[in-house]
Amino acid sequence: MMLWCYLMVVFTDPGAVPENWRHAAEEDDMDESNTRTISNDVATDIVNPPLFTSEGQGNASRYCSRCQNGKPPRCHHCSICDRCVLKMDHHCVWVVNCVGARNYKYFLLFLVYTFLETVLDTLVLLPSFITFFRDESRRSSSASDVAILFLAFGMHTSLVASNTTSIEPWFAS
């Protein structure tokens, strides 16, 4: 089930905004006024796009300058996918896809199944860990083994802190 949910998150479209989408309030206004035509409205919106509004302003129309299209409520533009996504939660690098309206359920199920699998693995391996660390007292570890462990840990900590890899210090000019 975990693998199935992962594949569904990866391959399910998160939800795209239909081309030339308009807010229902805009469509009602166009139906009531006979002085303007749809083609004039589209041309006006391209030349003078509606102002951006915040999420909390209710039914105010929004416009995406990148997609050149209207934006429904709770829709956001993903800079990685370069498109607007309905009910976008986030772009997940682990599934290489946006999490949106159409794949959110699969994403949550994937997280639940992953958590359950991790708990199951921990419970299965727990007796082996207990046995291993109980026998640790019978093994001798020299001071040099402990020193090497701390030096390796310290080196990798400094590499992470300086945002470099273990290869870069050798080839730095």
pLDDT tens, 87-145?
888 899 999 899 999 999 999 999 999 999 999 999 999 999 888 778 766 666 777 87
Burial per residue of 97-130, b for 16 or more beta-carbon CB atoms within 10 angstroms, e otherwise: bbbbbbbbebbebbeebeeeeeeeeeeeeeeeee
Catalytic-labelled residue, pool 5, 75, 92, 98: 92
Q: What confidence tens digit (pLDDT) does each residue in 58-77 have? A: 555 678 888 878 888 888 88
Q: How far apart are CA 19 and CA 42, in angstroms?
A: 12
92 is catalytic: yes
